Amino acid sequence: MTPPSEMVHWWFATGFLILGLLQLTEAVVGHEVWTLRAWRRYLWPGVLFTLGVLMWPVMTFFTNSTIHMLAHGSWAQVLMLAGAVELAVARGKLRSRYWRLWSSLALVISGAAFLVHEQHGWLFSRAAFLHHTLGWTLLVAAIFPLVQAFRPRSLTAAVGFASTFLVTAALLYCDRDTAAIFGHLSQYAGVPHR
């Protein structure tokens, strides 16, 4: 009854696409204009928190290995915590700009979880390649919220942070359960399909 795991990747890709678009738009129009309407203020952190909540069923139903379960659980926790922190900042309950550091930590934990739970090499299959790529992308991208914590008005950091979500979405959309990557597919990966 559970959907193929590639579909779950596509659903979360859609969530990350929304996050990326919202973050990119805020970067372009500026924080002051973006926060003029209350509902817009809660949009990005709300979606982030919701993605964290939705990650729990993934952890519950996709238990093909302990390490997968731990990775999904850690993503659920950091997404919810990052979303909750950003919601509190939007509401005005938290005021320090250094709360953005939690987003940086969330990216580090998420990236590490990607790398740790992918047991195969880069060219084992497309899914393995994407997991490695996603892991390193998130680890490197952790620099953007780190910079934002110290330089909140940095356009480069804001666009970089937004691009992280867009790149993550694109990579997740590319995921297939069994498919070749650059012509490589391990004989142990299974029968490929489009």
Partner 1 sequence: MSAEIARELRTEGATHQVVAVSWRIRFVRSLGLIVALAGIAWAIAQPYRITLLDPFGQGFWWLLSEPPLYVVVVGLLFHLIVAPALAEDLER
Burial level of 58, CB count in 10 A (0-12/13-18/19+)? buried
- Contact letters (x/-) for partner 1, 135-174, by CB under 8 A? --------------------------------------x-
Q: Does 17 bind partner 1 (CB under 8 A)?
A: yes
CA gap 192, 26 in Å, rounded: 40
Minimum distance, C-beta of residue 146 to partner 1, in the bound complex (Å): 26
Minimum distance, C-beta of residue 194 to partner 1, in the bound complex (Å): 5
CA gap 171, 82 in Å, rounded: 21
Q: Which residues pair with 184 in a beta bridge?
A: 181
Assess contact for 44 and 19: CB atoms under 8 A.
yes
Assess contact for 96 and 86: CB atoms under 8 A.
no
By CB under 8 A, what part of segment 29-48 binds partner 1? 29, 33-34, 36-37, 40, 43
Q: Which whole-number Å values give the CA distances from 125 to 3, 57, 69, 129, in the listed order?
A: 20, 25, 21, 6
- Contact letters (x/-) for partner 1, 167-186, by CB under 8 A? ------x-------------
Query: Considering only 18-26, 89-97, 139-147, 148-156, which stretch makes contact with partner 1 by CB under 8 A?
Result: 18-26
Q: Does 94 bind partner 1 (CB under 8 A)?
A: no
Give residues in contact with partner 1 (CB under 8 A). Answer: 3-4, 7, 10-11, 13-14, 17-18, 21-22, 24-25, 28-29, 33-34, 36-37, 40, 43, 173, 194
